[in-house]
Structure 1
Amino acid sequence: MESCIINSPLGYTKIIGDENGIVQVTVLNSEAQITASIPAVLEDCVRQLQDYFEGSRKQFHLKLNPKGTAFQKKVWKHLNTIPSGKTLSYLQLSTQLGDPKAIRAVANANSKNPLWILVPCHRVIGSDGSLTGYAGGLYRKQWLLNHESQYKQQSLF
Structure 2
Amino acid sequence: MPQISLHSPLGPLTLSEEDGAIIALDWGWGRDQTETVLLKSARDWLHAWFDKPDGVFPLPLAPEGTPYQKKVWAALLKIPVGKVRTYGELAADIGGSARSVGQSVGRNPIPILIPCHRVVAAHSLGGYSGDGGPDDKLWLLEFEGAWPVLNA
TM tier, shorter chain?
Answer: 0.7 to 0.9
* Residue pairs, 1:101-140, within 5 angstroms: 102-128=97-123, 130-136=124-130, 137-140=133-136
User: Structure 1 residue 146 and structure 2 residue 136: aligned?
Assistant: no
Pick closer, same or farther for the CA change 1:49–1:35 going to 2, 3 Å.
farther
> Could you list the per-position Cα deviations for residues 72-101 of structure 1 after superposition, in whole angstroms to 9, with x for gaps in the alignment?
0000000011110000011001111134xx
- The aligned amino acid for 2:42 is C
5+ unaligned residues in a row in structure 1: which ranges? Answer: 152-157
Contact 1:6/1:14 (<8 A) preserved: yes
**Corresponding residue SS for 2:104:** helix
Contact 1:132/1:138 (<8 A) preserved: yes
Structure 2: distance between partners of 1:26 and 1:89: 24
> Could you list the per-position Cα deviations for residues 23-71 of structure 1 after superposition, in whole angstroms to 9, with x for gaps in the alignment?
001223xxx3787763323111101100110116332101001111111
Q: What corresponds to 1:20 in structure 2?
A: 20
Identity %: 34
Pick closer, same or farther for the CA change 1:56–1:147 going to 2, 3 Å.
closer
Q: What corresponds to 2:80 in structure 1?
A: 83
5+ unaligned residues in a row in structure 2: which ranges? Answer: 148-152
Contact 1:7/1:34 (<8 A) preserved: no
Contact 1:6/1:34 (<8 A) preserved: no
Q: TM-score, normalised by structure 2?
A: 0.87
- The aligned amino acid for 1:145 is L
Structure 1: distance between partners of 2:53 and 2:79: 18
> Could you list the per-position Cα deviations for residues 117-153 of structure 1 after superposition, in whole angstroms to 9, with x for gaps in the alignment?
000000000111x1111011111101111111179xx
CA RMSD of aligned residues (A): 2.1
Structure 2: distance between partners of 1:122 and 1:94: 16
Aligned residue pairs total: 146
Q: What corresponds to 1:155 in structure 2?
A: none
Pick closer, same or farther for the CA change 1:40–1:56 going to 2, 3 Å.
same
- The aligned amino acid for 1:79 is L
- The aligned amino acid for 1:149 is G
